[in-house]
A and B are shown apart, each in its own frame.
Chain A
């Protein structure tokens, strides 16, 4: 049963515009959320994270928003650049309980930024 869901397998955006990637989760114990970026045949690299005590975290062109009541988070990339084209994974973890520290990943969204 997928506890972290990324319902859009792909997203195509023009360079300079905003990219919005969405993620939903079902486990109310999750209190730490991360986004990873992955290029083909490489390992994922960490992009940005947010804890459940916040509703927004910003790092340069990347902003993550968390809506706890809706169990939803989103990653905004502004402005989008061709180099942002990659698969983006949403991940979540719980700092309490039997799954302490384990990360659960969504299936990923392939972002394509075209000139």
Chain B
């Protein structure tokens, strides 16, 4: 059963702590994305990766870091530099990263991050 798995579903961060959100896909997709959802703000792009070992900053990358060492995995680290990390985080993927094809994004079920 193919899909995108995000874990954990709920995560709590203490002051000054880095936390890592996991995103794994078995859809054989090249491109992966991290979005943040805040109430009334819609979906804002944090980072994206069009191919393994490459990634680009989105609109709100400050305070976040990512890696893309494997095609299936795109973990997001929320660092202590991110002063307002409480949000719902969504990982997504699509088949092609660098080819001009009209494709939809597939989303995971999200991780709710809260600050203690």
Q: Which residues of A contact B (CB under 8 A)?
A: 6, 9, 31-32, 34, 36, 41-46, 49, 51, 89, 91, 93, 95-96, 100-103, 105-108
- Taken together as a complex, chains A and B put the C-alpha atoms of A41 and B107 apart, in Å, by 12
- Taken together as a complex, chains A and B put the C-alpha atoms of A89 and B43 apart, in Å, by 9
Write out, one digit per residue, whether chain B residues 14-58 have a CB within 8 A of any chain A CB (1) or not (0): 000000000000000001010100001111110010100000000
Total number of B residues with any Cβ neighbor in A under 8 Å: 33
- Taken together as a complex, chains A and B put the C-alpha atoms of A31 and B100 apart, in Å, by 11
CB distance from B103 to the nearest CB of A (A): 7
CB distance from A28 to the nearest CB of B (A): 17
Residues in A neighbouring B41, C-beta threshold 8 A = 107
CB distance from B50 to the nearest CB of A (A): 8
The 8 Å CB contact of A51, one of B4, B42, B44, B102, is B102
The 8 Å CB contact of B103, one of A6, A101, A107, is A101
Residues in A neighbouring B106, C-beta threshold 8 A = 46
Given contacts A34-B104, A41-B112, A43-B90, is CB(A107)–CB(B97) below 8 Å? no
